């Protein structure tokens, strides 16, 4: 069994989402997280999913889900249409052009929550170094030929990406097999979750302020 995004990870996402806000989950699967956000945070929820069986399960939960590819679904939305856009593993599994989709998500929403498996987790590093094989770990529990992942990235990769694209890291949370990871997350965490927002340009951000990512990551 692979590492689940439920449990503590779900609780973190739910805590980050403001009550009564509007939420778009990209690659929402069967709607487990989205339905909890509706019930526990009273959000106005919208999902995007391509799998017919998953959409059927979402409909049974009373969720509003569009049958579209994530890569092409965001262009019709106006700026700041949502308060939160959520990628719970979907960025690495269903998005073919993550750079474009991430920037679009930050255009149509005030914040984005991005969760992904950490490719740099130390058992994976050991498998690559000592065995010369693509790693198979609790967070990446697939062989190279049957993996659903289109992209492999680490916590350090995503942090560097945010800095290079002028994306503000508001909050972070890292998880291992037994709970939250605080020390050396790029080495020890199975998964990372980031709450991000688009940094204002200097003339739009007269108050300045510090980037929480400098402390949290």
- What is the C-alpha to C-alpha distance for residues 107 and 110, in angstroms, rounded to an integer? 7
Which pLDDT band, with edges at 50, 70 and 90, does 207 fall under?
very low
pLDDT at 88: 92
Residue at 207 is within a domain: no
Position with higher pLDDT, 53 vs 145: 53
Residue at 209 is within a domain: no
Residue at 3 is within a domain: no
89: containing domain:
8-201
Structure pTM?
A: 0.81
pLDDT at 213: 40
Nearest to 12 by CA among 140, 114, 92, 120: 114
Residue at 1 is within a domain: no
**Cα-flanking dihedrals φ and ψ of residue 72, to 5°?**
-115, 5
Domain containing residue 81: CATH number: 3.40.50.150
- What is the C-alpha to C-alpha distance for residues 116 and 155, in angstroms, rounded to an integer? 9
164 membership: H or E segment, kind and range: helix 155-164
Question: In total, how many domains does the chain have?
Answer: 1
Residue at 212 is within a domain: no
Residue 116 near residue 185, CB atoms below 8 Å: no
pLDDT at 153: 87
Residue at 213 is within a domain: no
């Amino acid at each position: 069994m692979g590492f689940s995004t439920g449990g503590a990870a779900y609780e973190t996402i739910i805590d980050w989402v403001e009550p009564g806000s509007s939420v778009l989950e990209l690659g929402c699967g069967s709607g487990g997280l989205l339905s909890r956000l509706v019930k526990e945070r009273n959000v106005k929820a919208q999902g995007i999913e391509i799998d017919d069986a998953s959409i059927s399960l979402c409909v049974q939960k009373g969720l509003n889900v569009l049958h579209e590819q994530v890569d092409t679904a965001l262009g019709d939305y106006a700026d700041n249409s949502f308060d939160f856009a959520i990628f719970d593993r979907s960025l690495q599994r269903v998005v073919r052009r993550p750079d474009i989709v991430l920037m679009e998500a930050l255009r149509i929403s005030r914040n984005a929550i991005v969760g992904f498996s950490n490719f740099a987790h130390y058992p994976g590093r050991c498998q690559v170094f000592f065995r010369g094989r693509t790693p198979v770990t609790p967070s990446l529990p697939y062989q190279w030929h049957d993996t659903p992942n289109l992209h492999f990235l680490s916590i350090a990769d995503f942090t560097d990406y945010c800095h290079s694209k002028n994306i503000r890291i508001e909050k972070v949370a890292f998880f291992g097999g037994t709970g939250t990871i605080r020390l050396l997350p790029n080495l020890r965490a199975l998964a990372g979750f980031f709450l991000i927002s688009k940094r204002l340009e200097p003339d739009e951000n007269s108050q300045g302020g510090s980037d929480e990512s400098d402390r949290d990551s």
